[in-house]
Amino acid sequence: MYNEAKQCIEAANRALQMFQRELSDVNMNLKRCQNEENLVCTEEISPNEDYIKKEGDKVTYIVEIYQVESNDIIVCVNSNSAFFDDIQYQIKYDNEISVSDVNIVWTTIMGNTEDAEDDQYSFINIAISSNGEVFSERKINLEMQLNRLKSCV
């Protein structure tokens, strides 16, 4: 039993080391690609801009889509909000994309594409296509980030 447990721990450690190397490679790619030369498109929005009293309370979200030399696509979602953890993910792809292949739709909690003071933007839907076929689509819930914080208080 001891030997089996020892083998399992060793296998888990090897898997962890492999995962850490892969994560390090992804992080290196993210840092290397985030320059103007690799930027396919960017979109910025402020869900509360029309409803704040102080400029310092303004929240902005920025979506940036990059494509590296290997044609892999890097999607970055950043915010100045202390309640939002920046999101980055990589999509393996083998063809070049352009700004016309990217569709970013901001929606409210009620599903509207136009916001209101009591129905501000809560979701980002990021779809990337090629030749009219969507090959990557992801919905990011901005509210979930806030709810996670509320549950800790």
Residue 135 identity (one-letter amino acid): F
How many independent structural domains does the chain possess? 1
| Non-local CB neighbours of 32 within 8 Å, separated by 6+ positions | 68
Backbone angles phi, psi at 36, to 5 degrees: -55, -35
Least-confidence region, from 20-24, 63-67, 123-127: 20-24
Domain contains 122:
yes
Domain contains 97:
yes
Residue 14 CA to residue 8 CA, distance in Å, equals 10
Domain contains 103:
yes
SS3 19: helix
pLDDT of residue 34: 62
The pLDDT mean for the chain works out to: 83
Domain contains 66:
yes
Domain contains 24:
no
Q: Which residue has better confidence, 15 or 56?
A: 56
Evaluate if residue 150 carries a pLDDT over 50. no
| Cα 80 to Cα 28, 83, 104, distances in angstroms | 23, 9, 19
Residue with tokens 């819930």: 141
Domain contains 28:
no
Residue 92: closest CA among 20, 25, 18: 25
Evaluate if residue 89 carries a pLDDT over 70. yes
Evaluate if residue 111 carries a pLDDT over 50. yes
Q: Domain limits at 126?
A: 34-152
CB count in 10 Å sphere of residue 72? 16
pLDDT tier at 21, thresholds 50, 70, 90: low
SS3 68: coil
Q: Which residue has better confidence, 148 or 49?
A: 49
Domain contains 86:
yes
Least-confidence region, from 27-31, 91-95, 109-113: 27-31
Query: From its phi and psi, is residue 131 left (phi > 0), alpha (psi between -120 and 50) or beta?
Result: left
Global pTM reads 0.71
Evaluate if residue 9 carries a pLDDT over 70. yes
Domain contains 3:
no
pLDDT of residue 24: 56
Q: Dump pLDDT digits (tens) for 33-82.
A: 567 789 999 999 998 888 889 988 899 999 999 999 899 999 999 999 88
Residue 151 identity (one-letter amino acid): S
